[in-house]
Amino acid sequence: MMPFFAAADGVKLHYTDEGDGLPVLALAGLTRNGRDFDHVAPHLPVRLIRLDYRGRGQSDWADSETYTIPQEAQDVLALMDHLGLEKVAILGTSRGGLIAMVLAATARDRLLGVALNDIGPEIADKGLDVIKDYIGKRPLQATYAEAAAFRAKVWSHFQDVPMERWLAEVSNHYEERGDGLHLRYDPKLRDAVLKSVAPATDLWPLFDALDGLPLALIRGANSDLLTEACADEMARRRPDMIRAEVPGRGHVPFLDEPEALAALTAWVEKMQ
């Protein structure tokens, strides 16, 4: 099976489709791609489908006006149609979780369940400021080794992360060339994100649209994007939500931590 398909507007999008059983569509964070799920993939006994959003990973770059959550939600449905899947469960990291909530509000009959990785209906200003600061900018480090060492030193909200993991992270996020590190996404994503940043919109109706679907929430204990207070309110509204707090992790957990794996295993079992 070819790992590309055409979106409705002709943009060629990359995906992978591995394993058997429950179809779980993995959606990465804002600037990331399907390889972010490399760490958790060996632990999930499911059919794991990963999508590179338009402008990210191996997918085509597109008009930056289309780098929006509603468009990306439509691209998800197009991939499902391409694969002949009536329903999927969604494992959504950060932006991927927002896309899942939009789909719950607009195409709920296509969902089997949702697992949210460090995202909720309230986005903390501190975390948003971090995103606005780095998005679309090449790193100052020139090599994978330098970038990995930088993260190990500066990302104090992550503890006990081996250097091999940091190397995997930066090699996924950047491409090392003779003139330094380049982004593995369209830098114009910055324009789209800054344009979309507006006075806070109430996203709780999108979260409430998940009602009745098997739901899990994984939060990094040191997250600057998803506050503990927001997670508490999510749990209050959904007492049946599987919830995990991952110590020594910020935004976002890698998902192969014991706490994350326990939550995802329980979530998968609910849908089988």
pLDDT (average), residues 197-207:
81
For 146, the token pair is: 């330098």
Q: How much is the mean pLDDT over the chain? A: 95
Nearest to 244 by CA among 212, 215, 220: 220
Tens of pLDDT, residues 119-136:
999 999 888 888 888 999
Tens of pLDDT, residues 3-62:
999 999 999 999 999 999 999 999 999 999 999 999 999 999 999 999 999 999 999 999
Q: How far apart are CA 75 and CA 95, in angstroms?
A: 14
Q: Where do the structural domains in the chain lie, given as residue ranges?
A: 4-135+188-270, 137-184
Output the pTM of the full model.
0.97
Q: How far apart are CA 124 and CA 251, in angstroms?
A: 11
Rg of the chain's alpha carbons, rounded to an integer?
Answer: 17
The neighbouring-strand residues paired with 13 are 5
Number of neighbouring beta carbons within 10 Å of residue 78: 18
Please tell me the predicted confidence (pLDDT) of residue 1.
53
Nearest to 164 by CA among 93, 247, 254: 254
262 pLDDT band (50/70/90 cuts)? very high
> CA-based diameter of the chain, in Å?
52
Three-state DSSP state, 41: helix
Please tell me the predicted confidence (pLDDT) of residue 201.
79
Q: Amino acid identity of 173?
A: H
Q: Which fold has domain 4-135+188-270?
A: Rossmann fold (3.40.50)
